[in-house]
Each structure stands twice: as structure tokens, then as C-alpha cells.
Chain A
């Protein structure tokens, strides 16, 4: 069974950098799958952040593209999200997930990790 687990600081200061990691088990990060990040602000809907696959090809939401970096760590079977210059609007529950192809629905999701942007 594929499992994903997000980790990272729960609080980030405004204008700072948000860094999250997603540990994958039950599947290899080196497989042909795409590894994605989705977030959900409190009481609101889902927003796709972006995705990456082994070779480093990535896709990002244009609304966040200039602030987002997604990377893969094959040695630890995990992938990461970095979001720079954060504001209160970036406060959300952040999920990592797996999809079979790019821009595709995710079939396995992590439990999510809450990140608050506040001074």
C-alpha cells in the first residue's frame, strides 16, 4: 500500500520560506509516477500547487509559479516543496499526493500538514 507523509514547520513568518517534505513508502520515487502538492486554506477548497517526476520535469500552478520549487530526493525516497515570500494567504493544509501522469488525478494522498503564516 502506497503511503505518503508530509512533514515540516507548522509556523512560518511572513516574507519567509515554507519548506515541506513528503516521505513516500510502498512505491519508489524513481517510478514513472508524478508527485504533487495540493493545498487547502482553512474552510476553503483545494488548490493544485504543482508536480514533479524523477527526471526533474515539473509543472506548476501559474498563480504560484514564480514562488514555488518542487524537488525530488531519490536517496531518501521523498520529494519537497519550497514556497518563498509567503504571506498570510499561504496559510493552509498542505497535502502531498501521487498521480500516474502529469496533470492527472491523484490516487494516493498524505494526511496533510497545517502551515500557518504569522509573525
Chain B
């Protein structure tokens, strides 16, 4: 299994909406509704922002929303704020063909910069 593919950088201005992508395969993103998104500020532990494609944990702003189409999942941040500047990682359940291997995989990560 390989890491899910994310763009290295995404930029946006305050108040704008940005969308981060996460591309996998039919063995992970495309095959299961188990995509999650984490936010990680420098020197901090990851924070769960979205689980099961589009669900927000309690306490997470509704400016964050998730979706999926085929083998690509997306995280949209609306009304971009300075505090949203961080690294974002997607993740998914992965099961190989015939189920010989099951693992939890992360994406390569996207650095969001608020201009």
C-alpha cells in the first residue's frame, strides 16, 4: 500500500474557500467511506477534523466539510482564517485485493498557507 496523494501546498486569502484533495485507489479511498482528515499545527499533535468522509467531531467548526468522488476525497475550508494555516493529512482504511493486507494509511500532507 502507498501513501495517499495530496498536493504539497494550497494557498488562500482570509475569507476565501479552499479545497484540498486526497487521491487513492479502489482499495482505500474509493472502496470505503472511511476517509478522515487531520489538522496539524507546527509542534502539535494531529487533530481529527473529519471522519467517515463527511462527519465532524464535536467541537470542530462547520467551516470544515468533507466529500468524496470515486478515488478522490476532498476537504473544503470555508471562510478561511489565519488559524487554519497548518498541515492537513487525509487518511483511509486500506485493504488489498483479496484482503491479504489491511492497514491504515495517511496521505502525503498539504500545507495550507493563509496569505
Contacts and interface: CB of A to CB of B under 8 A. Distances in A.
Interface residues of A, number: 19
Contacts of B115: none
Nearest to B104: A48
A25 B103 CA distance: 27
Interface in A100-119: 103-107, 109-112
Given A45-B89, A62-B101, A106 B48 contact: yes
A88 interface: no
Interface string A61-89: 11000000000000000000000000000
A114 B107 CA distance: 21
Contacts of A106: 46, 48
A62 B108 CA distance: 18
Contact of A103 (B34, B47, B48): B34
A27 interface: no
Interface of A: 38, 45-48, 51, 59, 61-62, 95, 103-107, 109-112
